[in-house]
Chain A
Amino acid sequence: DQQVKQNSPSLSVQEGRISILNCDYTNSMFDYFLWYKKYPAEGPTFLISISSIKDKNEDGRFTVFLNKSAKHLSLHIVPSQPGDSAVYFCAANLGGGADGLTFGKGTHLIIQP
């Protein structure tokens, strides 16, 4: 049973517009959420995170929104740039434990010129 779901395998957005990547989770015990960016043949790099006590966190062009009641989070990238083309993974963490992060399957974001 997949606890973190990214239902869009791919997303195409025009350069300069907003990219919105979505993620749903099923485990209400998750209390910390993260987004990672991954290029082919490289390890994922951390982008932005949000604690379950917040509903928004912003860092430059990246904003993550959390809707706990809907068990949904989203990553907004604005404006989208060609270098943003990559696979984006949503991840979740169970509070305080040493367990690894639970990842979604990823969304391949393609920024069109």
Chain B
Amino acid sequence: SQTIHQWPATLVQPVGSPLSLECTVEGTSNPNLYWYRQAAGRGLQLLFYSVGIGQISSEVPQNLSASRPQDRQFILSSKKLLLSDSGFYLCAWRDGTGDTEAFFGQGTRLTVV
């Protein structure tokens, strides 16, 4: 069966510090991978998606970037965090074919102080 791992679960970082959140998927190959953010009082906002190694599409211009160095690994990064980057970050994967549901990781609560 497929599983998705996301870490860390909680992170407190000072303004201006770098960020690296990692997500890995097991039990499937060539998944579509996604990073979402849930800010307080808001829905799930799509940040980045990837259909293959090295292929990244950005939905919202911002202080963050994403990379996919391996088929089942998706990384969310920032060189310098802003206070507004605080939120709940979720990684998700979908089968690359047809209309299917997305499966989410457990999320990372990021607080920038």
A residues contacting B by CB (< 8 A) are 4, 6, 31-32, 34, 36, 41-46, 49, 51, 89, 91, 93, 95-96, 98-106
Contacts and interface: CB of A to CB of B under 8 A. Distances in A.
Contacts of B96: 98
B90 A34 contact: no
Interface of B: 6, 9, 32, 34, 36, 41-46, 49, 51, 59, 88, 90, 92, 94, 96, 98-99, 101-107, 109
A62 to B, nearest CB: 14
Contact of A100 (B6, B9, B34, B42): B34
Contacts, number: 64
A46 B46 contact: no
B16 to A, nearest CB: 26
B43 A46 contact: no
Given A100-B34, A105-B43, 9 more contacts: A34-B102, A41-B109, A43-B106, A49-B99, A49-B101, A96-B99, A98-B51, A100-B59, A100-B92
Contact of A99 (B49, B92, B98, B101): B49
B99 A93 contact: yes
A34 B101 contact: yes
Given A98-B96, A100-B92, A105-B43, A46 B102 contact: yes
A11 to B, nearest CB: 16
A107 B96 CA distance: 29
Contacts of A89: 43-44
**What secondary structure prevails in chain B residues at the interface with A?**
strand
11 contacts: A4-B43, A43-B105, A49-B101, A89-B43, A91-B44, A95-B99, A98-B94, A98-B96, A99-B46, A102-B46, A105-B42
A4 B103 CA distance: 19
Contact of B46 (A49, A100, A104): A100
Contacts of A95: 99
A51 B99 CA distance: 8
B99 A32 contact: yes
A98 B34 CA distance: 10
Contact of A103 (B9, B44, B88): B44
